[in-house]
Amino acid sequence: MRFTTCLVAAILFFSQFTAFGQTSTPQEQCVRVIVADKGNGTSAGSGAFIRDRIIVTCNHVVVDREQDTVQVYFPSQGLSLGTVIGTDSVMDLAFIRLLETPWCEPFTVQVDFTTTDLTVQGYGSGVYRQRWGTLSNTRTVKGWRKVVNATARNGDSGGPVLDGCGDYVGTLWGSIGGETYFTPAQKVLEVLERIEASQASLDDTTNQIAARYHSRGNVERFFKRGTTNQLADRYHSRKRVKRFFKRATKRKVAA
């Protein structure tokens, strides 16, 4: 049943394309990510809306960010703001939580896809493009998959890879020698779940500290090194965060 549905959807889906593999209307869930870098520069990439208020893109799109707040542009809705909630440098993934819920539904995520005809989407230097290619059997050490005959451009990084039904099956990394690589949806969800679990643990620790110091604002003013979340990123784990706060508390008492 799914194969038949996908076949019909694929015919409609591919009928949008021109001879050059480009569509005139972007998928609403395919977004542009704009990041203010350190040193007054700007980085731009693509992203995919895959879960309630969650955008996935590539870590190399946001790695030089000056702050965690970034701009996300939807084709119809326009500008939204979001916060980088976590990254994975090994898989080259980053996740952004939007401050407001978009009006559109997120992509349907498929972790077990059987079709070999896939499309890659992105905004390149600013112009949306969608190309189709064929899934290769090649798997990299990281677990990335490869699409042939669908070269990506600079700025397409982080864009969605879709199956014939238009469902999300992975996040585009980029192209090498005419071959395009992407992180499969299963890997993307695993990284996201790990980041969300770490975030929940950190929020619990933050709440405990805030209760002790009466407010989160007092905690942040006390440490004077940015937000508690930035400190946690620096110290990598809940135990190290607790040890850090314990040492800082002792220094305050000693003073």
Q: What is the pLDDT along the chain (255 residues), one digit of tens a residue?
A: 554 445 434 434 444 444 334 555 889 999 999 999 988 899 999 999 999 999 999 999 999 999 999 999 999 999 999 999 999 999 999 999 999 999 999 999 999 888 899 999 999 999 999 998 999 988 888 899 999 999 999 999 999 999 989 999 999 999 988 789 999 999 999 999 999 998 876 666 666 666 666 566 665 665 554 555 555 555 555 555 556 556 555 544 444
Q: Would 100 be classed as within a structural domain?
A: no
Q: Would 198 be classed as within a structural domain?
A: yes
User: Exposure of 15 by Cβ count < 10 A (0-12 exposed, 13-18 middle, 19+ buried)?
Assistant: exposed
The tally of domains found in the chain comes to: 1
Q: Would 121 be classed as within a structural domain?
A: no
Q: Would 19 be classed as within a structural domain?
A: no
Q: Would 207 be classed as within a structural domain?
A: yes
- Give the C-alpha distances (Å, rounded to integers) separating 43 from 64, 98, 175: 8, 18, 18
Position 102 scores a pLDDT of 95
Instruction: Give dist(CA 50, CA 175) in Å, integer.
Output: 22
Instruction: Give dist(CA 145, CA 60) in Å, integer.
Output: 18
Q: Would 225 be classed as within a structural domain?
A: yes
Instruction: Give dist(CA 179, CA 150) in Å, integer.
Output: 7
Contact criterion met (CB below 8 Å) for 38 and 96: no
Position 14 scores a pLDDT of 40
pTM listed for this prediction: 0.73
Contact criterion met (CB below 8 Å) for 29 and 47: no
Chain centroid to Cα 222, Å, comes to 32
Q: Would 210 be classed as within a structural domain?
A: yes
Q: Would 242 be classed as within a structural domain?
A: yes
- Give residue 197's domain range: 188-254
Position 15 scores a pLDDT of 41
